[in-house]
């Protein structure tokens, strides 16, 4: 064992006190400028979403770059789900937590800032404006990003970077969201943002806020008809992706608490800013493989495309949002600048797999009175119907089913009951007993008979029992519906 010399008592006590300090307590101090303590300054990066979300790897890359560029004097500890998933405004809460010094760094979607009084990012939320990664990357790497980040001044934080993320598409739970009729009355879950909420209302939908912990339960209860979501990362829970409708492009704001930033020395600030720049450059150089992500979506869902007429109608409906956004002079100028960039940006078309994609049938009008289908209907469960439903050995082959429809309420022969709504050529049966909704397209004949086809995906047993053959109208709705 190596011999040691006794140190003076005061020196020993000081050393013990320094060793007892938490790693983060060296914020901006890290020893004297001549290189005293070598303990790194630890900056905690609060990320609003989970560790398996689409941008999680990018946050980790930023952390690794800070460590490398600072020569080890800075370390970023990434904290995912920093505000939890039990609240709906996770991103706004993260911004506040950085502002009040609970965390030193923050990572949230740019769209959340308008609820906190920052309007400089709203041009990114302008409907159907930023619809390609090429355009989003030019915004994030060019002079528009600093102009947007400058809007954070006066809010207790310092903007570091605008990081490109993913395009946001409509995802339907029970049926596609591809036409004005689809959106009419639909309850669409959105990340809290005034601009996004205004868009949903302009399209005829109702924006709803549901926390991450409650999404699955809300879907099971039929409280959500769709969501605006990005491909990749955590699964959005919906079944129908409208591939050629892009609401807007999501970008992430990387920012620091002002006091935490000001306590860093010049070299440390430079390292953080350089790491932020390199993170943006890396993401821009490797845009998400949207076509591959669409193919992956086909494994568990269905991809549809909106018709040209529906796209034009949706775009016209969104113009009222522009009128609202452009009341702000800065937002109006940024929208104009993005349009100029878009005019000179080449965008390759996104191709969805032909065996997965289909054009969504146009739903005419905002809704049809449910009483138009009032009646008693019967159909037989045939062998051919069982084969078509991929359930050739179903034990109910040969049974005759009876359905009563009256003024928005339905009763199936076996006792199942619920409510129904009609939009265009779609009828959706809400079935509370099993917490689901079954949606069908239908064609009505002159004699009142109905040809019904299930809107997939749907359980094959339900497909067989509900749509094994045409519904023959045998008379008015004579049975009482409880």
**Which two structure tokens, joined as six digits, stand for 286?**
């490797």
pTM: 0.68
Q: How much is the pLDDT for 14?
A: 35
**Which two structure tokens, joined as six digits, stand for 146?**
């600093």
- Evaluated on CA atoms 143, 147, 132, 331, the torsion sign reads negative
Q: Which of 192, 227, 204, 172 is nearest to 321 (CA)?
A: 204
Inter-residue contact 209 to 112 (CB < 8 Å): no
397-404 long-range CB contacts below 8 Å, 24 or more apart? 401/465, 401/466, 401/468, 402/376, 402/377, 402/378, 403/376, 403/377, 403/378, 403/471, 404/375, 404/376, 404/377, 404/477, 404/478, 404/479, 404/481
**What is the β-pairing status of strands 302-305 and 226-229?**
unpaired
Question: Can you tell me the distance from the alpha carbon of 356 to that of 322, in angstroms, rounded to the nearest whole number?
Answer: 34
Return the residue matching tokens 């090429």: 134
Return the residue matching tokens 């906190």: 116
Domain boundaries, the chain: 18-359, 370-475
What is the phi/psi pair of residue 60, to 5°?
A: -65, -40
Low-confidence ranges of the chain (pLDDT < 70): 1-38, 220, 233-238, 299-300, 348-367
Q: Which of 134, 183, 127, 125 is nearest to 350 (CA)?
A: 134
133 Cβ contact list (under 8 Å, min separation 6): 164, 167, 249, 287, 288, 290
Question: Can you tell me the distance from the alpha carbon of 401 to that of 333, in angstroms, rounded to the nearest whole number?
Answer: 61
Domain 370-475 -> CATH class: mainly beta
320 C-beta neighbours (distance < 10 Å), count: 14
440 C-beta neighbours (distance < 10 Å), count: 22
Inter-residue contact 244 to 311 (CB < 8 Å): yes
Q: How much is the pLDDT for 220?
A: 67
Write the pLDDT tens digit of every residue in 44-87.
999 998 888 878 999 999 999 999 999 999 999 999 999 988 88
Q: How much is the pLDDT for 350?
A: 59
Question: Can you tell me the distance from the alpha carbon of 254 to that of 121, in angstroms, rounded to the nearest whole number?
Answer: 13
Write the pLDDT tens digit of every residue in 153-181.
999 999 999 999 999 999 988 788 999 98
Q: Which of 422, 417, 462, 416 is nearest to 438 (CA)?
A: 462
268 Cβ contact list (under 8 Å, min separation 6): 28, 30, 41, 70, 73, 74
Find the angle CA(305)-CA(302)-CA(126) to the nearest 5 degrees.
Answer: 45
Q: How many helices (H) and strands (E) does the chain have?
A: 16, 19
What is the topology classification, in CATH, of domain 18-359?
Answer: D-Maltodextrin-Binding Protein; domain 2 (3.40.190)
Q: How far apart, in Å, are the Cα atoms of 203 and each of 163, 187, 247, 406, 454?
A: 28, 11, 11, 29, 25
Describe the strand order of the beta sheet including 450-454 as a list of residue ranges: 450-454, 436-444, 426-431, 417-423, 409-412, 400-406, 375-380, 472-475
Burial of 467 (0-12, 13-18, 19+ CB in 10 A): buried
Q: How much is the pLDDT for 210?
A: 87
Question: Can you tell me the distance from the alpha carbon of 91 to that of 109, in angstroms, rounded to the nearest whole number?
Answer: 7
Burial of 378 (0-12, 13-18, 19+ CB in 10 A): middle
Q: Which of 335, 337, 377, 364 is nearest to 470 (CA)?
A: 377
**Which two structure tokens, joined as six digits, stand for 23?**
């790693």
């Amino acid at each position: 064992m190596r011999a040691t010399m006794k140190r003076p008592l005061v020196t020993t006590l000081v050393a013990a006190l320094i060793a007892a300090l938490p790693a983060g307590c060296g914020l901006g101090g890290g020893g004297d400028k001549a290189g005293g303590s070598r303990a790194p300054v630890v900056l905690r990066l609060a990320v609003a979403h989970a560790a398996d979300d689409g941008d999680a790897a990018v946050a980790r890359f930023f952390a690794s770059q800070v460590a490398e560029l600072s020569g080890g004097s800075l370390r970023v500890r990434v904290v995912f789900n920093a505000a939890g998933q039990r609240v709906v405004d996770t991103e706004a809460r993260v911004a506040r937590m950085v502002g009040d010094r609970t965390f030193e760094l923050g990572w949230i979607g740019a769209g959340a800032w308008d609820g906190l009084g920052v309007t400089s990012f709203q041009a990114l939320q302008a409907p159907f404006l930023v619809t390609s990664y090429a355009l989003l990357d030019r915004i994030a790497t060019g002079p528009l990003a600093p102009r947007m980040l400058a809007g954070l001044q006066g809010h207790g934080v310092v903007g570091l970077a605008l990081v490109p993320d993913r395009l946001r598409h409509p995802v339907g739970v029970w049926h596609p969201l591809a036409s004005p009729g689809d959106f009419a009355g639909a309850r669409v879950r959105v990340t809290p943002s005034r601009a996004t909420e205004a868009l949903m209302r302009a399209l005829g939908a109702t924006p709803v806020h549901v926390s991450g912990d409650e999404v699955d339960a809300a879907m099971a209860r039929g409280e959500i008809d769709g969501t605006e979501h990005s491909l990749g990362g955590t699964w959005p829970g919906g079944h129908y992706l409208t591939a050629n409708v892009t609401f807007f492009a999501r970008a992430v704001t990387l920012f620091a608490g002002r006091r935490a930033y000001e306590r860093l020395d010049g070299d440390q600030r430079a390292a953080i800013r350089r790491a932020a720049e390199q993170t943006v450059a890396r993401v821009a150089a490797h845009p998400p493989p949207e076509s591959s992500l669409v193919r992956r979506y086909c494994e568990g869902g269905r991809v549809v495309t909106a018709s040209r007429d529906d796209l034009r109608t949706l775009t016209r409906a969104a113009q009222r949002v522009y009128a609202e956004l452009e009341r702000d002079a800065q937002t109006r100028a940024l929208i104009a600048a993005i349009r100029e960039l878009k005019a000179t940006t080449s965008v390759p078309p996104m191709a969805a797999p032909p065996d997965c994609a289909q054009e969504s049938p146009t739903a005419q009008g905002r809704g049809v009175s449910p009483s138009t289908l009032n009646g008693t209907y019967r159909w037989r469960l045939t062998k051919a119907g069982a084969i078509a439903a991929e359930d050739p050995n179903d034990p109910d082959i040969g049974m005759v089913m009876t359905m009563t429809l009256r003024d928005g309420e339905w009763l199936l022969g076996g006792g199942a009951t619920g409510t129904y709504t009609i939009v265009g050529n779609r009828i959706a049966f809400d079935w509370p007993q099993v917490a689901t909704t079954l949606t069908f397209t239908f064609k009505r004949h002159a004699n009142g008979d109905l040809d019904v086809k299930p809107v997939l995906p749907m359980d094959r047993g339900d497909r067989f029992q509900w749509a094994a053959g045409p519904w023959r109208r045998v008379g008015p709705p004579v049975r009482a519906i409880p």
